[in-house]
Amino acid sequence: MTSKWIQEDRFEVVSEMIKSLCEKYDLPIPHIYHSLPEDPCDYTDTKEIRLHVLNDDSYYEHHARHVFGHYLCGLEQTEISDKVVDLIILNI
């Protein structure tokens, strides 16, 4: 049985971590929502992130960084491509 409280806690914490990463690297902050019933996993595009929240053993920070990475891949196809590439290169 899953706990709605844990899921909501995970959503809030991971959302805030993603927003903090965007602020840290001066990137646009997307709207962050819960995933839709038809989403099999997290969804990202340049303006929206939908978090697929499960009660599992993965760390919140890992989840946030993983989704942020997918978000960066989408931003790489925009007018801020050079900034995203620089960010990736500097953090390898």
pLDDT tens track for 23-72: 999 999 999 999 998 888 899 999 999 998 876 666 889 889 999 999 99
With 80 as the cut, is the pLDDT of residue 3 above it?
Answer: no
**Amino acid identity for residue 27 in this structure:** L
Sheet holding 43-44, edge to edge: 31-34, 48-51, 43-44
48-51/31-34 β-pairing: parallel
Q: What pLDDT, on a 0 to 100 scale, did the predictor assign at position 7?
A: 67
Q: What pLDDT, on a 0 to 100 scale, did the predictor assign at position 1?
A: 45
Q: What pLDDT, on a 0 to 100 scale, did the predictor assign at position 55?
A: 66
Per-residue confidence at 10, pLDDT binned at 50, 70, 90? confident
The model's pTM is 0.84
